[in-house]
C-alpha cells in the first residue's frame, strides 16, 4: 500500500505516476465576434464601442470580391456637421503601399513585403488624422476563392489565407486607430479595375450619399477632394493603365505612388494608351439614328461578306444599315459552323434573297469559299471591311458582356470572349482586296453612336 501524500508506481516498474495535470483554459477564439460582424458595414457614427482589439473582419461578395475591414475601437459619434462630406483616400495595394522585399514581382509569402517607400506609414497616418476614410482597392486575380481541398481546419485556399495574413500584417504595422477597408477583385467581372464595382460596393457599405441630396443623416461622398493612388498609370513600362482609368471612371483625382509619396513630377501616359471617348460620335443623336450610309444595293440578289475582328461592330452595322435593305443575315455564332453558314446562305440565294455573311472572314482562303458561292449563283459579291482597332474591339467585348440588360449595348446577350479570340484573328488576318474577286470593297471606320446614357456607359474604361 502507498501512504497518503506519496506518488504511486506502475506495477513492475520504478516510475512514479504523476497526478493528472490541471485543465488548461481554452485558447481565445480568433474569429470575429457577433458584434463585430453586426457592425461590419455600419457607418462609423452608428457603431457601438464594445470593440477593444484590432482585427480584420472578412466578407466575400458575389463569390468574387473580397472585403476586409480592419476594425478598431469605435470613436464617439461624429457631429452632424462632420457627416456632410466624406473624403476618401483610396490606394492600390501591391507596388503602391507595399512591395515584395524579395524583389520578385509578387510576394512569395505573407511576410514577403516591405513598405513601397519609408514615407508610406506616416502619410497614411496623416490622412487618417486629417479625417480621410482610408480604402485599399486591389485587383488580386491570383487569389482563389475555391475551398481548400486539404482538411487543415481552414476552408480558405492557400492564396486567400496568404492575402488575409499579409493585409492584416500591413494594417497592424500602420498602428492606426481608425478603421480601414480592403476591397480585392479576384475575377474578370464588374469588380475588377478599371471597372467600378469595388468602389460602388464601398459606397454601399459605408452608407454614403453619391447624389448630393444630404438629408442630415447620410454622409455625402466628396469626390472632388478624394484621391486614388496606384501604380498602373499607363506610363512607359507600366503593366497597364487600370488604376488611372479606375479613378477616371469614379471621377476622383489620381496620383501615382511617386507623385503622392515622393512628391515627384507627373510622368505622362504613353502615346498609345486607349481612350474610348476618342471613338464616340460627336454629332447629336437620340439613339435611333437612321442616317443613310453610303452603301446601297446594286442588284436584286447579291452576297455581302463582312471582314472584321470579333467586337468590331459587324452585327450592329448589319442591323443599322443592311437589315432595312432586306438582306438576310448568316452568322457563325448562331449557326456554329462555316459549313452550316454556307448551306443556309445557299438556300437564301436559291430563293433570290440577298445575304450578309456576318462572320470575321479573316483570311483569303475563308473569303474564297464565299466568292466561289457567289460565282455559282452568278451574282455580285461585295466586301465590307470593318477596320476597327483591336483595342476598340476588346473594349466593345467588355462593355457588352458587362451590360447584359442594356439592349442597345448587348442585344444578343453575348458573354465575354477570351483574349484568344482576338489573338487568333490577328494571327490569321489578311487585309481584303478587291482583286480577290469582289465587285467592290467598302472600308468602314468605327464610331460609337447612341443615346447619352449608353454613350456614358460605353465611354468608361472597361478593360
Is 135:96 a contact under the CB 8 Å cutoff? Answer: no
Confidence of residue 88 (pLDDT cuts 50, 70, 90): very high
Residue 352, pLDDT score: 97
Residue 152, pLDDT score: 58
Confidence of residue 108 (pLDDT cuts 50, 70, 90): confident
DSSP H or E stretch at residue 86:
strand 85-86
- Strands annotated E in 140-190: 180-185
Residue 279, pLDDT score: 96
Q: Is the pLDDT of residue 285 over 90?
A: no
> Which of 78-82, 220-224, 291-295 has the highest mean predicted lDDT (pLDDT)?
220-224
- Per the prediction, the chain carries an average pLDDT of 85
Residue 148, pLDDT score: 78
Is 239:211 a contact under the CB 8 Å cutoff? Answer: no
Q: Is the pLDDT of residue 149 over 80?
A: no
Mean pLDDT, rounded, for 249-266: 97
Confidence of residue 216 (pLDDT cuts 50, 70, 90): low
Q: Is the pLDDT of residue 142 over 50?
A: yes
DSSP H or E stretch at residue 221:
strand 220-221
Residue 213, pLDDT score: 53
Residue with the larger pLDDT of the pair 294 and 85: 85
Confidence of residue 103 (pLDDT cuts 50, 70, 90): confident
Residue 212, pLDDT score: 53
Q: What is the DSSP letter of 190?
A: T
Return d(Cα 307, Cα 286) in angstroms, integer: 29
In 3D space, the residue among 250, 255, 245 whose CA is nearest the CA of residue 275 turns out to be 245
If one counts every other C-beta atom within 10 angstroms of the C-beta of residue 20, the result is 6
Return d(Cα 310, Cα 31) in angstroms, integer: 48
Confidence of residue 284 (pLDDT cuts 50, 70, 90): low
In 3D space, the residue among 375, 347, 348, 344 whose CA is nearest the CA of residue 359 turns out to be 344
Q: Is the pLDDT of residue 8 over 70?
A: no
In the chain, the percentage of residues whose pLDDT exceeds 90 is 69
Confidence of residue 6 (pLDDT cuts 50, 70, 90): very low
pLDDT tens digits for range 366-399: 999 999 999 999 999 999 999 999 999 999 999 9
Confidence of residue 293 (pLDDT cuts 50, 70, 90): low
Return d(Cα 83, Cα 73) in angstroms, integer: 19
pLDDT tens digits for range 396-445: 999 999 988 888 899 888 889 999 999 999 999 999 999 999 999 999 99
Residue 44, pLDDT score: 43
pLDDT tens digits for range 322-358: 999 999 999 999 999 999 999 999 999 999 999 999 9
pLDDT tens digits for range 16-57: 333 444 444 343 333 344 444 444 444 444 444 333 356 889
SS3 182: strand
pLDDT-wise least confident of 42-56, 214-228, 251-265, 299-313? 42-56
pLDDT tens digits for range 172-194: 999 888 889 999 999 999 999 99
Return d(Cα 44, Cα 49) in angstroms, integer: 10
In 3D space, the residue among 142, 68, 174, 158 whose CA is nearest the CA of residue 110 turns out to be 158
Burial track 405-433 (b if 16+ CB lie within 10 A, e otherwise):
ebebbbeeebeebeeebbeebeeebeebe
pTM greater than 0.95: no
Mean pLDDT, rounded, for 77-84: 47
Structural domains of the chain ordered from first start: 48-273 (3.40.50.1000), 303-458 (3.40.50.300)
Amino acid at each position: 500500500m502507498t501512504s497518503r501524500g506519496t506518488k504511486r508506481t506502475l506495477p513492475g516498474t520504478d516510475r512514479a505516476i504523476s497526478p493528472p495535470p490541471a485543465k488548461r483554459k481554452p485558447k481565445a477564439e480568433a474569429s470575429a465576434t457577433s458584434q463585430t460582424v453586426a457592425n461590419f458595414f455600419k457607418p462609423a457614427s452608428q457603431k457601438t464601442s464594445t470593440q477593444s482589439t484590432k482585427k480584420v473582419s472578412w466578407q466575400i461578395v458575389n463569390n468574387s470580391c473580397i472585403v476586409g475591414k480592419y476594425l478598431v475601437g469605435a470613436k464617439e459619434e461624429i457631429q452632424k456637421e462632420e457627416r456632410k462630406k466624406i473624403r476618401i483616400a483610396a490606394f492600390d495595394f501591391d507596388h503602391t503601399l507595399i512591395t515584395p522585399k524579395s524583389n520578385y514581382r509578387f510576394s512569395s509569402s505573407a511576410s514577403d513585403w516591405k513598405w513601397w517607400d519609408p514615407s508610406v506609414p506616416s502619410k497614411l497616418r496623416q490622412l487618417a488624422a486629417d479625417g480621410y476614410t482610408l480604402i485599399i482597392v486591389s485587383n488580386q486575380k491570383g487569389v482563389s476563392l475555391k475551398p481548400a481541398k486539404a482538411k487543415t481546419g481552414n476552408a480558405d485556399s492557400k492564396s486567400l489565407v496568404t492575402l488575409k495574413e499579409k493585409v492584416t500584417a500591413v494594417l497592424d504595422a500602420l498602428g492606426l486607430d481608425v478603421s480601414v477597408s480592403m476591397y480585392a477583385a479576384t475575377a474578370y467581372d464588374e469588380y475588377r479595375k478599371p471597372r467600378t464595382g469595388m468602389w460602388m460596393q464601398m459606397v454601399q457599405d459605408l452608407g454614403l450619399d453619391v447624389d448630393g441630396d444630404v438629408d442630415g443623416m447620410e454622409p455625402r461622398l466628396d469626390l472632388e477632394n478624394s484621391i486614388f493612388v496606384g501604380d498602373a498609370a499607363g506610363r512607359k513600362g507600366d503593366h497597364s493603365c487600370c488604376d488611372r482609368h479606375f479613378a477616371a471612371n469614379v471621377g476622383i483625382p489620381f496620383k501615382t505612388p511617386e507623385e503622392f509619396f515622393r512628391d515627384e513630377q507627373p510622368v505622362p501616359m504613353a502615346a498609345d494608351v486607349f481612350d474610348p471617348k476618342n471613338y464616340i460620335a460627336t454629332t447629336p443623336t437620340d439613339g435611333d439614328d437612321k442616317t443613310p450610309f453610303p452603301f446601297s444595293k446594286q442588284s436584286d440578289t447579291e452576297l455581302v461578306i463582312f471582314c472584321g475582328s470579333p467586337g468590331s461592330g459587324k452585327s450592329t452595322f448589319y442591323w443599322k444599315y443592311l437589315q432595312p435593305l432586306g438582306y438576310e443575315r448568316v452568322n457563325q455564332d448562331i449557326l456554329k459552323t462555316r459549313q452550316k453558314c454556307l448551306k443556309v446562305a445557299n438556300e437564301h440565294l436559291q430563293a433570290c434573297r440577298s445575304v450578309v455573311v456576318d462572320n470575321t472572314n479573316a483570311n483569303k482562303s475563308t473569303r474564297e469559299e464565299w466568292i466561289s458561292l457567289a460565282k455559282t449563283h452568278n451574282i455580285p459579291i461585295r466586301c465590307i471591311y470593318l477596320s476597327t482597332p483591336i483595342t476598340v474591339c476588346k473594349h466593345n467585348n467588355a462593355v457588352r458582356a458587362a451590360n447584359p440588360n442594356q439592349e442597345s449595348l448587348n442585344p444578343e446577350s453575348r458573354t465575354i470572349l477570351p483574349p484568344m479570340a482576338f489573338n487568333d484573328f490577328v494571327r490569321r488576318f489578311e487585309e481584303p482586296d478587291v482583286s480577290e474577286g469582289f465587285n467592290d470593297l467598302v472600308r468602314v471606320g468605327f464610331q460609337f453612336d447612341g443615346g447619352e446614357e449608353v454613350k456614358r456607359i460605353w465611354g468608361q474604361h472597361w478593360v
